[in-house]
Amino acid sequence: MPSPLPEVPARTVVREDMRPSACVSAAQNDCHAREVVSAAVRSVVDHLEPPLSSLIRRGDRVLVKANMGCSGFRNPEDRVTSHPAYLEAIIECLLDCGARVTFGDDVARTAQYQRIWHKTGMSEVAKRTGARLADFVQAGGREVRGFLQFPKTYLITNLVFDADVIVNAANCRSLSKVVLSGAIKNMFGAMLGLRKLRIHQLFFDPSEFARVIVDIHRVVKPSVSFLDLTTVIEGQGVADAIRPVGLILGSTDAVALDTLAAHAIGYDRLTIWTSIHGNAVGLGSNQIDRISVRGLKWNSFEKKRLLYPEPEPSYRESLTDQVTRRLNNTILRPRPVIASQTCTACGACASRCPVGAIRRSPHEKFSIDLDQCPDCGC
Ligand code: SF4
């Protein structure tokens, strides 16, 4: 039986009658064999509205944001990361439009990104397609103003600003903090390093956390999103298991994509704050009756009833704890230091610092300009 997550009807803030209907393209897909996924993704692309060829012009620099997991090395069959066959199929469609494709994710916290590329199957995708595989940290990053009062800025990889078009290649799974990790959540990874962890620590409340996720999605602005539900991890934190769902989706409306995904896996009665806030700020529609599905008879598609993720514990923090937590993650946050006793002066940290805040100095081996350091922790 699904775990008892709160079931609250979705709220809307913007008047619905002001909104156009959303369109999601869908194709059935039962396995990750390359030729099978390729056919499914092509069908999704063929039914996209507006068509992909109108979003991407010949010669455009396109950045594809994959999901390569956030800790350790990930096997594609674990279904935590974007499957390489799915990514390859998306890249092939982009190349057909004449795009110059770069793809990647922020995997630099382990400082072994090439191993992660190999383990997640991304090196092979780069080899087969000729697309450039890039490390989000090595490309550098910059602070970008969001739409919220707090946090005001995000440290976003430069690859986002170097691209003409962003494509979101998301993977769907159950995840306690957001219930459904889908198209909206995937762009969170455009923010560099431990800044993501700080957002987790600053925003315990799932609604507030989702508000920030949506804000980052608005900042990065993918032109089109894809979502893979061929198989999906259910019951995160309760009884994680990989279940067949048999679906790949695509749309210019990431909120509609996640909303349809929630219906496909039986999460439609749960409160999915990313979709609620996404709808509220005008990012897209979370009203199922305003979403039209192309390429697949939606009513005939057999919806699944996956196990719900573990509910987030409700925190009753005292005012003192709230203030302390806020201070510990802002003014009193830990800052990076050079361990001069053990530093070998290899320069690896300086070459990977995304903002060039680590420099060789005449008196010390290396030093960090803390005024310039945005605490990425990379
Ligand atoms: S010095 Fe600051 S910005 Fe540079 S890598 Fe270290 S934590 Fe990141």
Delimit the domains of the chain by residue range. 19-300, 336-378
For residues 82 and 227, give the distance between their C-alpha atoms in angstroms, rounded to a whole number: 9
CB of 376 shorter than 6 A to ligand 1: yes
**Which residues, listed in sequence order, are joined to residue 241 by a DSSP beta bridge?**
234
* Lowest mean pLDDT segment, chosen from 68-82, 163-177, 215-229, 261-275: 68-82
Query: Residue 11 has what pLDDT?
Result: 41
Q: How many CB atoms lie within 10 A of CB 138?
A: 17
- Specify the DSSP element, H or E, that contains 23: strand 22-28
The conformation of residue 226, written as its DSSP 8-state character, comes to E
Answer whether the bond into residue 151 is a cis peptide, omega within 30°: yes
CB of 233 shorter than 6 A to ligand 1: no
Query: Residue 7 has what pLDDT?
Result: 47
Query: Residue 3 has what pLDDT?
Result: 44
pLDDT in tens, 281-307: 999 999 999 999 999 999 999 999 999
CB of 140 shorter than 6 A to ligand 1: no
Given pLDDT bands bounded at 50, 70 and 90, which one contains residue 10? very low
Query: Residue 267 has what pLDDT?
Result: 98
Q: Where are the alpha helices (DSSP H) in 5-67?
A: 34-46, 52-55
Q: Which residue has the higher pLDDT, 312 or 23?
A: 23
Contact 366, 338 (CB under 8 A): yes
Query: Once rounded to an integer, what is the mean pLDDT over residues 47-68?
Result: 97
Q: Which atom of ligand 1 is nearest to the CA of 336?
A: 7
Structure tokens at 232: 């999906």
Contact 341, 33 (CB under 8 A): no
CB of 192 shorter than 6 A to ligand 1: no
Query: Residue 110 has what pLDDT?
Result: 57
* Lowest mean pLDDT segment, chosen from 46-50, 69-73, 353-357: 69-73
The residue whose CA is least distant from atom 6 of ligand 1 is: 377
Contact 373, 336 (CB under 8 A): yes
Query: Residue 144 has what pLDDT?
Result: 96
Give DSSP secondary structure letters for 76-115: GGGSSS--HHHHHHHHHHHHHTT-EEEEEE--GGGS-HHH
Query: Residue 339 has what pLDDT?
Result: 87
Q: Which atom of ligand 1 is nearest to the CA of 376?
A: 8
pLDDT in tens, 197-214: 899 999 989 999 999 999
Pairing state between β 153-157 and 141-145: antiparallel
The residue whose CA is least distant from atom 4 of ligand 1 is: 353
The residue whose CA is least distant from atom 3 of ligand 1 is: 373
Q: Is 2 exposed, middle or buried (0-12, 13-18, 19+ CB in 10 A)?
A: middle
Query: Once rounded to an integer, what is the mean pLDDT over residues 166-173?
Result: 98
Give CA torsion, residues 238, 240, 244, 245, to 10 deg.
50
What is the SS3 assignment for 174? strand
Between helix 84-96 and helix 122-129 the angle, nearest 10°, is 30
> How far apart are the CA of 353 and the centre of ligand 1, in A?
5
Query: Matching CATH topology for 19-300 and 336-378?
Result: no
CB of 137 shorter than 6 A to ligand 1: no
> How far apart are the CA of 199 and the centre of ligand 1, in A?
17
The residue whose CA is least distant from atom 5 of ligand 1 is: 353
Q: Which amino acid would we find at residue 168?
A: N
- pTM for the complete prediction? 0.92
pLDDT, the chain, mean: 91
CB of 166 shorter than 6 A to ligand 1: no
Contact 159, 128 (CB under 8 A): no
CB of 374 shorter than 6 A to ligand 1: yes
Q: How many CB atoms lie within 10 A of CB 22?
A: 25
Task: For domain 19-300, give its CATH number from 3.30.70.580, 3.40.50.150, 3.40.50.11440, 3.40.50.720.
Answer: 3.40.50.11440
> How far apart are the CA of 181 and the centre of ligand 1, in A?
28
Q: Which amino acid would we find at residue 209?
A: F
- Closest by CA position to 125, among listed 158, 170, 90: 90
Query: Once rounded to an integer, what is the mean pLDDT over residues 152-165?
Result: 97
For residues 257 and 93, give the distance between their C-alpha atoms in angstroms, rounded to a whole number: 19
Exposure string of 45-74, with b = 16+ CB inside 10 Å and e = fewer, is bebbeeebeebbeeebebbbbbbbbbeebb
CB of 358 shorter than 6 A to ligand 1: yes
CB of 141 shorter than 6 A to ligand 1: no
CB of 194 shorter than 6 A to ligand 1: no
Q: Which atom of ligand 1 is nearest to the CA of 352?
A: 5
The terminus-to-terminus CA distance of the chain in angstroms comes to 41
Tokens 């992909």 correspond to 52
Query: Residue 296 has what pLDDT?
Result: 97
Q: Which residue has the higher pLDDT, 220 or 11?
A: 220
Contact 290, 263 (CB under 8 A): no
Query: Once rounded to an integer, what is the mean pLDDT over residues 360-376?
Result: 86
Query: Once rounded to an integer, what is the mean pLDDT over residues 303-331?
Result: 90
- pLDDT of residue 34 exceeding 50, the answer is yes
Q: Which atom of ligand 1 is nearest to the CA of 374?
A: 3
For residues 296 and 181, give the distance between their C-alpha atoms in angstroms, rounded to a whole number: 23
CB of 291 shorter than 6 A to ligand 1: no
> How far apart are the CA of 374 and the centre of ligand 1, in A?
7
Given pLDDT bands bounded at 50, 70 and 90, which one contains residue 243? very high
Looking at domain 336-378, its CATH architecture is 2-Layer Sandwich (3.30)
Tokens 């430069």 correspond to 158
Query: Residue 4 has what pLDDT?
Result: 47
Answer whether the bond into residue 244 is a cis peptide, omega within 30°: no
